[in-house]
Chain A
Amino acid sequence: DAKTTQPNSMESNEEEPVHLPCNHSTISGTDYIHWYRQLPSQGPEYVIHGLTSNVNNRMASLAIAEDRKSSTLILHRATLRDAAVYYCILRDVKRGEYGNKLVFGAGTILRVKS
C-alpha cells in the first residue's frame, strides 16, 4: 500500500493558488516523491517529482519539507481544467515493496469553483 496520507478532498476558486498537502512520515532516504493526477474519465497523468529540493515545471511546483516527511503540490493558478484527483506517490529504486511500479492511493479530489 502507498505510504502517503492526503486529504480526501479540497476546494479552490478559479485563478487562485492551490496547495495540496501530502504526509509521508515513514519516507526513506531513497524514496522519490511523485505526483500524478487523473482528470475525469482519463488515465493518470504525471505532474512532477522530486527527492529533496523544491521543483518547478510548467504544470506545478513541488515543495518538500526539510525533513522530507511531508510535501506540498502547488498549482499557482487553478483553472477548471485542474479539477481532478491528485495522487502523491513514493517511489524507490529498490525492488522490494514498490518494485518498479507506482502504487496509487485514494488521492485528493480537487474541486475548482468558477
Chain B
Amino acid sequence: EPEVTQTPSHQVTQMGQEVILRCVPISNHLYFYWYRQILGQKVEFLVSFYNNEISEKSEIFDDQFSVERPDGSNFTLKIRSTKLEDSAMYFCASSSQGAPTGELFFGEGSRLTVL
C-alpha cells in the first residue's frame, strides 16, 4: 500500500540552526501538508501546498518556515533558525483530492528536538 515517508525520524539540533525535514508524498497526490504536534498537545496545521504554491498557512508558519517541492517527488519543510519552542513532531500529509472529501495520508512523523 502506498505511504507517505518522512526523514529523518528524529533530529536533534542546536537553537538557531537550520533544519530541513523531508517528505516523499504518495506519487499521484496533488495536495501536500505539514502539521506539527508538540508533546501532549493537539495536531496543528502549518501549511498546505497545491499547484506548486502555498494555498494556505497558519499563524505558526512565519518567516522562519518555508516549504519546497524541489523535484516533483520530495516535499520539504525548512526552519531557518530553530527555537526551543519548535521542538515537536512534524507530520507530512498528502491527498489526491482537496476539500471537502479528500482523504489525507499522513507520514510517521519527524521528531525535532531543539536544544
Chain A residues within CB distance 8 Å of chain B: 30-32, 36, 38, 42-46, 49, 87, 91-93, 95, 98-106
Give the distance to chain B from A57, nearest Cβ to Cβ, in Å. Answer: 11
Q: Please encode chain B, from 84 to 115, with 1 for each CB lying within 8 Å of some chain A CB and 0 for all others.
A: 00000001010000111101111111000000
Bound-state Cα–Cα, A32 to B104, Å: 14
- A100 touching B50, Cβ below 8 Å: yes
A-B contact count (CB 8 A): 64
- B106 touching A92, Cβ below 8 Å: no
Interface size bracket, B side: 20 to 34
Chain A contacts for B108, CB-based, 8 A: 42-43
- The secondary structure that dominates the A interface is loop
- A43 touching B91, Cβ below 8 Å: yes
Chain A contacts for B43, CB-based, 8 A: 38, 44, 87, 104
B75 on interface, CB distance cutoff 8 Å: no
